[in-house]
Amino acid sequence: MTKTVLELAILPGDGIGMEITKPCVELVQAALQKAGEPAANENWLEAGAGAYTKLGNALPAETIDGCRKADAILLAAMGDPEVRYPDGTEIIPQIDLRFELDLYAGVRPVRSVPGIKGPLADPRGNQLDFVLVRESTEGLFASVGKGTRDDDQATDTQVITRKGTARVCEFAFKLAQQRKARGYVGEVTSVDKANVFKSMAFWRDVFDEASEGYSDITKKYGYVDAVAMEMVRRPWIYDVMVTENMYGDILSDLAAGLIGGLGMAPSADIGDEHAVFQPCHGSAPDIAGTGKANPTAMFLSGAMMLEWLAVEKGNKNYDRAALFLRSAVDDAFAEGTLVSTERGGDAGVAEISAAVGQALVSLNNNDRRIA
Ligand code: ATP
């Protein structure tokens, strides 16, 4: 039987984007090959501040079209503080793409890589493995470009809809079920501020309704301020968390700090039809071109993409490819000698890519993590 060839849309974007995308795509292809799958077709597409300067459009129609046609979208980082729209705002086509493709679930896995020490003294702080799901199409971000301002006051309105909340909560419960099947506890925590805001009390009611179809999953609640404290005090208590867009924006950076910084934090923005995989960090213009960037978050985003494709396409080999790539990252860092520049070491894109590539080649097909 001929095997399906995956169609990948690849958007390297700006700053460190291109530097970290090339080795990531090479590793994704190598992982596919190791799992017995053909190489994916690569459709490299332009978007970002560079595209805006060159073409006058940060997200050309051809790019959106290529994304719609792809099986999955791999995006690095976009934006450049030096390149702005005439109204002074920054170019953020990665956010436009979320609205364009209706990518409502922002998935931020918080998993410690062995060998990368987190900031917490308690040893459990180095064995974190939970997921933060951020609603990505509404909340306070619904106000972007719509807020009001005069001399005496400014307003931004938080919009929480039944549809938007129900679908992201359902997503979180399904994710908890998938994790439970892999041995996790099976819990979803609603992170809100239901004690203060009408919009958040509404969110919690819709969360409760969504939970009804998932009697095998335990539901919990946390107020966002208390959760911020618990994420520092004992983050290992969480399994899956689901929250409004703005709370999710803030807590996902806090979560990245727990696993070693932005260069270690992958993410996905998932809708019913499409999904974009990209590291949590931005284009890091301050280090672009120096080779100092840590490409690990990009590699782990590539692994998330393969894992998502396994479910979408019903092909377990993509899961194996994801496990190969993630295990190669773990092995590269395990001894603690590979230290990225953001953590005070001297390993940048070239060194980390080479170490992960070598670890991937060395991985045994019978490794217990891959089975
Ligand atoms: P955005 O708003 O687009 O998320 P940002 O302005 O918050 O971007 P980043 O581009 O993520 O910021 O950069 C924040 C800081 O983290 C910068 O000092 C940058 O050099 C550093 N940084 C970001 N990503 C990496 C990486 N992969 N490796 C090393 N340092 C990084």
* Residue 76 DSSP SS3: strand
**Interstrand relation of 275-279 and 266-270 (parallel, antiparallel or unpaired):** antiparallel
Element at 177 (helix H, strand E): helix 162-181
pLDDT in tens, 246-295: 999 999 999 999 999 999 999 999 999 999 999 999 999 999 999 999 99
**Domain shared by 166 and 215, yes or no:** yes
pLDDT in tens, 142-156: 888 888 999 999 999
Q: Which residue has the tokens 């990505």?
A: 136
The whole-angstrom separation of Cα 369 and Cα 371 is 6
**Domain shared by 244 and 121, yes or no:** yes
How many structural domains are present in the chain?
2
**Average pLDDT by stretches of 10, the chain with 371 residues:** 91 97 98 97 97 96 97 97 88 90 97 94 96 96 87 95 98 97 96 97 98 97 98 98 97 95 96 97 96 98 97 96 97 95 95 98 90 71
**Domain shared by 249 and 124, yes or no:** yes
363 contacts 331 by C-beta, under 8 angstroms: yes
Q: What is the pTM of this model?
A: 0.94
**Domain shared by 41 and 5, yes or no:** yes
Atom of ligand 1 nearest to the CA of 286: 20
Q: Which of 92, 97, 262, 301 to mutate to test the pocket of ligand 1 (most atoms within 8 A of CB)?
A: 262
| Enclosing domain of residue 323 | 1-103+277-371
**Domain shared by 48 and 167, yes or no:** no
**Domain shared by 31 and 94, yes or no:** yes
Assigned token pair, 305:
């993409």
Q: Which residues contact 30 (CB under 8 A, 6 or more apart)?
A: 357, 360, 361
**Domain shared by 127 and 32, yes or no:** no
Burial of 129 (0-12, 13-18, 19+ CB in 10 A): middle
* Residue 95 DSSP SS3: helix
CATH number, domain containing residue 236: 3.40.718.10
The whole-angstrom separation of Cα 106 and Cα 95 is 11
Burial letters for 213-232: b for 16+ Cβ neighbours within 10 Å, e otherwise?
ebeebebebbbbeebbeebe
**Domain shared by 239 and 313, yes or no:** no
Pocket of ligand 1 (CB under 6 A): 79, 262-263, 281-284, 286-287, 293-294, 297, 342
Q: How many CA atoms lie within 13 A of 272 on its CB side?
A: 4
The whole-angstrom separation of Cα 143 and Cα 146 is 5
Assigned token pair, 176:
């908890």
Q: Which residues contact 24 (CB under 8 A, 6 or more apart)?
A: 74, 76, 295, 298, 299, 301, 302
